[in-house]
A and B are shown apart, each in its own frame.
Chain A
Amino acid sequence: DADVTQTPRNRITKTGKRIMLECSQTKGHDRMYWYRQDPGLGLRLIYYSFDVKDINKGEISDGYSVSRQAQAKFSLSLESAIPNQTALYFCATSDFSGTYEQFFGPGTRLTVL
Chain B
Amino acid sequence: AQTVTQSQPEMSVQEAETVTLSCTYDTSESDYYLFWYKQPPSRQMILVIRQEAYKQQNATENRFSVNFQKAAKSFSLKISDSQLGDAAMYFCASFNNAGNMLTFGGGTRLMVKP
Q: Which residues of A contact B (CB under 8 A)?
A: 33, 40-45, 48, 50, 56, 58-59, 88, 90, 92, 99-102, 104, 106-107, 109
Contact = CB atoms under 8 A, between A and B. Distances in A.
Contacts, number: 50
Interface of B: 4, 6, 9, 33, 35, 42-45, 47, 50, 91, 93, 95, 100-107
A5 to B, nearest CB: 12
A107 B106 contact: no
A101 B45 CA distance: 12
Given A48-B100, A58-B101, 10 more contacts: A42-B105, A43-B45, A43-B91, A43-B93, A44-B104, A45-B102, A50-B100, A104-B45, A106-B42, A107-B44
A42 B35 contact: no
Contact of A101 (B44, B47, B91): B47
Contact of B107 (A42, A44, A99, A106): A42
B104 A90 contact: no
B90 to A, nearest CB: 11
A90 B6 CA distance: 21
A100 B68 CA distance: 18
A100 B95 contact: yes
